C-alpha cells in the first residue's frame, strides 16, 4: 500500500489513466487491423480510406502519449508501404 501522499494520489490516478489508454489503444489496433485486411483484399479505394483512418488514429494515440511518436511513425510507414505495393 502507498505510504506517501503523492503515492496515494498516484494510486488513485493510475486506474483512470489505464482505462483511458486501453480504450485508445484498442480502437487504434482495431482500425489498423481493418486497414491491413483492406490492403490484403486488393480494393484500392477502400484500402486507401482505411489507411487514412488508421494513420489518423495512430497520430491521435501518439499525441495523447499512449504510443511513442516513433512507434506511430514506424507503423504508418509500414502501412503506406503495403498500400503502395498494391
- pLDDT tens digit string along 34-84? 999 999 998 899 999 999 999 999 999 999 999 999 999 999 999 999 999
Report CA torsion sign: 45, 83, 42, 62: negative
Contact by Cβ (8 Å): 86, 45: no
CA angle 14, 17, 18 (to 5 degrees): 80
Which one, of 20, 10, 6, lies nearest residue 66 by Cα?
A: 20
What's this model's pTM, rounded to 2 decimal places?
Answer: 0.85
CA distance linking residue 43 with residue 45, whole number of Å = 6
Q: Is residue 86 over pLDDT 90?
A: no
Residue 16: predicted pLDDT: 95
In this structure, what is the dihedral angle of CA atoms 68, 86, 56, 59, given to the nearest 10 degrees?
10
User: What's the average model confidence in pLDDT over 14-36?
Assistant: 96
Q: Quickly state the pLDDT bin for 15 (edges 50, 70, 90).
A: very high
How far from the centroid of its chain's Cα atoms is residue 39's Cα? 18
Residue 1 has pLDDT above 90, yes or no: no
Amino acid at each position: 500500500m502507498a505510504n506517501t501522499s503523492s503515492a496515494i494520489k498516484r494510486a488513485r490516478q493510475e486506474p483512470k489513466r489505464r482505462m483511458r489508454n486501453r480504450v485508445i489503444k484498442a480502437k487504434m489496433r482495431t482500425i489498423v487491423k481493418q486497414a491491413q485486411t483492406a490492403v490484403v483484399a486488393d480494393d484500392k479505394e477502400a484500402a486507401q480510406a482505411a489507411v487514412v483512418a488508421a494513420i489518423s488514429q495512430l497520430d491521435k494515440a501518439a499525441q495523447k502519449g499512449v504510443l511513442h511518436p516513433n512507434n506511430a511513425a514506424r507503423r504508418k510507414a509500414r502501412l503506406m508501404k503495403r498500400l503502395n505495393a498494391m
